[in-house]
Structure 1
C-alpha cells in the first residue's frame, strides 16, 4: 500500500502543503495535517523533518481523541529526513530560547535580561553550563534553627539576591540528596541569620527525621544540620562556564554568565530551556518517533515548591503527610512521603499502546528523559540519553515495555538520586542490552509490588554507578516481583563494574525483595556483590552461577528462603583475565551491552 509523506523544515511555511519542495514550518502543522488523513489510512504516514533546529513554541501533543493515532493497521512515523540511510539529516526538536541581548560587566561577566525566566541549566555552544556554586558549605560555625540557620560569619550578608540561593544536602539520607531554597539573609556585625523558604523547610525536617542505631550512640542523624553545597548566587560566579540568575526584581530577572576562553558575544550561542514538555502522548497508539534529538527542556518544580525533597529513585515529596518506616530495633527508622510524587520527564506517554521510540537522542533536559505510564506494548530502543537533570527512562504501571540497546550516561546531573532506568510496578518489562555508565546513584531500579511480575533484566553493561550517593548498586530491586520464580524477576547475564561510593552492592535486592532469580552475572569492583540481610527480609531469592571478586557477607549462612549456590569467586587482581578464561564468564562478557 502507498505511504503518505509530509515534510517539515525550519525554512518552510505552515500554509504550504507539506511537500518536499513546499514543507511545513512547524511540527504542529504537520501533526494537524496528519489528523485529516488517519481515518482513511491505506499505508504508513511519514512526517520527515529536514536538518536543523525545530523550535517548539508549545509541546507537540498527541491525543487519540484528535485522530493522532495510526489506523487500519498502519503507523504514523515522525522521523529525521533520510532516516536509516547514509544521508540521514540531523534534526533537533528544541524547547529552548536563545539569549542575544548581552552586555559585559567590568569583571568580564556577561549579563542579559531574561524577564520571568529562572533557568536551572544552560547550553553554551552545545556544552552544558552549570550554576555557580560554593562547595564548602556555609562559612563559620553553623547552627540549625527552627526556620533555617545561624552562623557566626557575616560573609553571607554580602551575597546578593539571596532569594535565588539554593542549598544542597548530599546524603541527607545516604541514598538521597535534598535541595532547599533560601527566603532571606539578615544579620548584624557578629552573626548571620538565614531563613529558609516555607513550607519546604518544615516538610524537609519531617521527611528526614530518622534514627540509625547501627551507627552507635543514640542513633541521631541530622542530614539537614548544614548544607554542603550552595548554588545560584552572584558571589560564587568565579569559574568559567558557570552562571547565576538574579531574581531579586520580580519579572525582571537578569542572567549572569562567566564565559569560557574563546567565547564571544555575537558568536557564542547561549540557550536556556523553557518548555517543560517537548512531546506528550495521551491514549494514542501506533506512533513511531525515530532519528530525532530532543533537547533544551526545563522543570520548574524546585522553584515552584521551594526545593526538591528527594526520597528514593524518582520519588520525592511535594505535598501531603509522612509515613514512619520502622527498620527494626537494631537498625532504626526513616520517614517517607505518604503520597510520593514522581519526577516528571520532558517526553511523556500515558495510557498509550504500540509506541516506538527508536534511535533518538535525549539531551540537555531539566527533568527526566522519557516516562511511560499505564501503557502497553511500548519500545524504547537504540536511544542515547545524556546531560539530563533527572533519570533517563522511567516506566510506571505498564505492561510489555521493552527498553533495549540504549546508552544512558551522565544523567542525574541535578537530582542525583535519579536512576538511569526505573521500572515501577510493571508487568513483563524487558531491560536488555543497555549500556549505563557515569551515574550518581543506581544504574537500574526495579520496584516491585502487587502488580509487578515477569521483569527481565538481561545482558546490560553497567559501569561507574554510585558516583555521588551511597546505599545502592548497579542493579537494584525491591519488594515482591511476582508470586513465583516462574512469574518473578529474572536478572541474568549483566556485567557490573566499578560501583564507586562506599556502602554499595553490585546486585542489590532490598526491602522485602521476593521471587527474584539472579543468575550468570558478573560483578567487579563493588564493595560487595550482593546483600543477604535486609529489612524487611528478602524471601525466595536465588543467587546462582554468578561471578564476583568478593565473598559476600553471610554467604555460608544465608536466610532460609534465599538460595546461594554455584557462584564463582575470582581474584581481584586479574579478575578480567580469570573471567575470560571461563567459558561461561567469557560468554557473559561477550553478550553484555548494546548490540547496535
Structure 2
C-alpha cells in the first residue's frame, strides 16, 4: 500500500528517532506514539499511515493499546497499517510481539532434572526452543489419590500416606475431566497434611465450593440416562489427575513449579533425550494481554506473530470451574435447568465468565487482522466483543493456545474466513476453535480446523442472535478429549425465522473422536437453523434430532453422512428432515428423498413437502453445484 506517512521500526532503533529507514524507532509502543503524534498534527487528514517492522522479537513491557483515544486508530477514513518489512513478498521478515521473558540460570540436579528460579512468578506455561513443555502430572483416568478415598466438605481424605511425600503440595492442581461430559475443572490444592494412618487434602477456596455448587446435576430416572447417551452426570467426584509437583516429573520434556518458598519459586524441568538445557532457550509468559483495542477503527494488522501470553486466573484460589466451551463459573448466580420432562436436571452459570484472549478487541469497527500467527498463548487467541462492523479475521494461523481460538461475542458484521486453527485448547480442554455467541451477521467460512479437544465451531444463540453463516469449513479430529459436542455445535435461539436464523452449509466434518459425539450438533433448544449440504464422516451420530430441550424450526436438508441419525425415520415436530443421503460407500444426487448407501430412496423421510420455500430453493441450488 502507498501511505502519506510511514514509520520504520527495528530492534536496533531508538524511540526518540524520527522513524525513517536510516533512523528507525525501537518498538511497537514507540510506533504507536509516533502514529498518535502524526494524526494529532493533521486532524483534518494526513492520509494513510504505514508502520513497517524489521525482523526480530519485540518484548512487550505492557500490552499494545489501540484504543481510539491513544493514537492507534485511523480516524476520518484514514487507515493505520502495521506489517513486517517485505510483507507480501518472499522476502517478508519474521516479526514477533512477545509477552514473555527468558528464564536463565539453569543448573542440573542429581536426579536428571534441571532447575531455575523465577522469583515470585508462578508461570503456568514454559516454552523450550519454541516448543510447549507440558506440566508434569499423573496419568489421566483413574484418580491420582491412592488408597480408599472419602470426599469431605473441604476436600478429600485417604487411608494412604503416600501423598504426604508429594513435593510442593500447595503448587498442585487437581484436574476433574468429564464432570459433565463436556467439562473439565481445575482446582488448586491448599494443603496436604496427615499422620501415620491417613492423608488429608484441603482444596483452595472459593474454588472447591463453587465447583460443588456448579456440578450438581441429577438423573432421576434411567430413561433420562439412556436419552443422554449414557453420559456420566453427577456431582464433583474424585480428580482424574494431578499436576505441577516436582514429584510428578517422570515424562521427559515436562516441567513443574515449586512454590514452597515464598518469593523464591523454582522451575524443575526434565529434558528430552539428547536435549541440553544449558544450550536451550526457555521462555515464560508474563503479560495476560498482548494487544487491546477499545472503540478503535480503521486499523490493519498483517503478517505479524503474537506469542507468549499468560493467564493466571486458574492458579488462584477460585480455580477454574469450567462449564461449557469458553465459559466458567466465577462469582455469578447459578440456575437450575430441568431436562427430559423433569427426569433430570443440571446447574448452569447464570452469568458465566469467559476465558480471555491475548488479543482483545471491544466495540471496534473496520479492524482487519490478516495473515498473522497467534501461538504459545496461555488462554485464548483473539476475541471480538461488541461493535464489529467491518471487522475481519482472514488468513491467520492460530496454533498451540491453551484456550479457545477465535471468539466473537455480541458483535455484528464480523468475518472469520480462510484461517487455519489447530492444536487449540492445549490446557483448557473445553475450548473451541471458533466461538460465536449472541452475534449478528457473522460469517465463519472457509476455515480449516483440526486437532481440538472439544467442538470445532460453536454457535451459541441469544436474544439478539441473527444471520450467522457457517459455510464451507473443514473440521477434522474434534472432541479429542471431552465428549457431548460436535464438529459444529449450536444451541439456543438463532433468530426468529429461517431467513434470519443460522445457516450451516457446505461444511466437511471428519473424525469426531471420543465416544458420545455428534458431527452436527443442534442442542439445547436450538431454533431457526438450517443445516444444508454438509458432509459428516466418522462421528458416533452425524446429527442429533432429539436433544434434552426440544428443537424448534430446525431443518436438515441435503446433507451427506455415513450413518442414519437416530430417529430420522420419525423426526420430532420441530424438525424438518429431507433429502439427506447416507453414503458410507458412495452415492450421488439429491431428489427430495433421503437416500441409503445403495442409492435407493428412503421413503421414511419427510421429503420436501411442507418445507419453507427458501429452504427448498437452497437445497436445489446445493444439488446443482
Same fold (TM over 0.5): yes
State how far apart, in whole Å, the 1-side matches of 2:461 and 2:276 are: 51
1:17: how far off?
Answer: 1.4
Change in 2 beyond 3 A, CA 1:348/1:421: same
Query: For 1:135-178, what per-residue CA distance to the aligned partner results, in whole angstroms no more than 9, with x for missing partners?
Result: 15212222111111111211100001100100001101111000
Displacement after TM superposition at 1:7 (Å)? 1.3
Contact 2:415 2:443 in 1 (8 A): yes
What are the ranges of 5 or more consecutive residues in structure 2 without an aligned counterpart?
Answer: 226-230, 589-594, 600-617
Equivalent in the alignment of 1:463? 476
172-181 or 16-25: which moved more? Answer: 16-25
After TM superposition, the structure 1 stretch with the greater mean CA deviation from structure 2, 61-70 or 240-249, is 61-70
Q: Residue in 2 aligned with 1:175? A: 182
* 1:487 aligned onto 2:520: no
| In 2, Cα distance between equivalents of 1:403 and 1:580 | 35
TM-score, scaled relative to structure 1? 0.95
- Structure 1 residues not aligned, in runs of 5+: 592-596
SS of 1:268 mapped into structure 2: coil
CA deviations 1:72-119 (Å, max 9, x no partner) are 322100111111011100111000010111111111211111011111
For 1:320 and 1:535, locate their aligned partners in 2 and report how far apart those are by CA, in whole Å.
25
Alignment of 1:49-198 (within 5 A): 49-135=53-139, 136=142, 137-198=144-205
User: In structure 2, what is the equivalent of residue 594 of structure 1?
Assistant: none
- Within-5 A mapping of 1:497-508: 497-508=510-521
CA distance in 2, matches of 1:182, 1:261: 32
Q: Is the 8 A contact 1:459 1:588 kept in 2?
A: no
SS of the equivalent of 1:380 reads strand
CA deviation string 1:353-393 (max 9, x = no partner): 00000000000000100000002221001001111010000
Counterparts of residues 25-424 of structure 1 (less than 5 Å): 25-39=26-40, 40=42, 41-135=45-139, 136=142, 137-213=144-220, 215=222, 221-329=233-341, 331-376=343-388, 377-424=390-437
Q: 1:184-235 deviations in whole A, cap 9, x for unaligned?
A: 1111112111110011101110000111245579999545221111100010
Q: Quick check: 216-225 or 519-528, which moved more?
A: 216-225
Q: Confirm whether residue 17 of structure 1 aligns to residue 18 of structure 2.
A: yes
Judging changes above 3 Å, is the alpha-carbon distance between structure 1 residues 279 and 579 closer, same or farther for their aligned structure 2 residues? farther
Q: What's the TM-score, normalizing by structure 2? A: 0.90
2:548 is the alignment partner of 1:535: yes
Q: Give the 3-state SS of the residue equivalent to 2:449 in structure 1.
A: strand
- Give deviations 1:33-84, integer Å, cap 9, x for gaps: 0001124344321111111111101101111122321133221001111110
For 1:225 and 1:480, the matched residues in 2 are separated by: 33
Aligned length: 587
Q: Show CA shifts across 1:503-541 (max 9, x none).
A: 111101111111111000000010111111123211111
Paired residue secondary structure (1:399): coil
Structure 1 2/153 Cα, relative in aligned 2: closer, same or farther at 3 Å?
A: closer
Q: Answer yes or no: is 1:515 the counterpart of 2:528.
A: yes
